[in-house]
Amino acid sequence: MYIHVGEDIMIRSSEIIAILEKETVHSSDEIQHYLTEHQDAVVHLANGNFKSMIITKPHVYLSPIAPGTLKKRLLKPESDVEIDD
């Protein structure tokens, strides 16, 4: 299953390692160090004002979409369409 994380970016849900809130990102020295070390892998999807950070193996996405919304998208069934046989 794929999840929309902002702009035109869709990522595989199986690639997601963590989804963090903006406040957590700003308050953690370890995360700030991680972002500094992996600066080339950071993809800015929000114009400087992100709501969540999505960590995957190849990239770190700074998304304008709230973590709760992303969670709902991950938990949503792949298809809402019922097929009658």
Q: 18-73: per-residue pLDDT in tens?
A: 999 999 999 999 999 999 999 999 999 988 789 999 999 899 999 999 999 999 98
Q: 56-66: per-residue pLDDT in tens?
A: 989 999 999 99
Closest CA to 6 of 56, 40, 44: 44
For the chain, the domains span: 2-75
The whole-angstrom separation of Cα 31 and Cα 34 is 5
What's the whole-model pTM score?
0.83
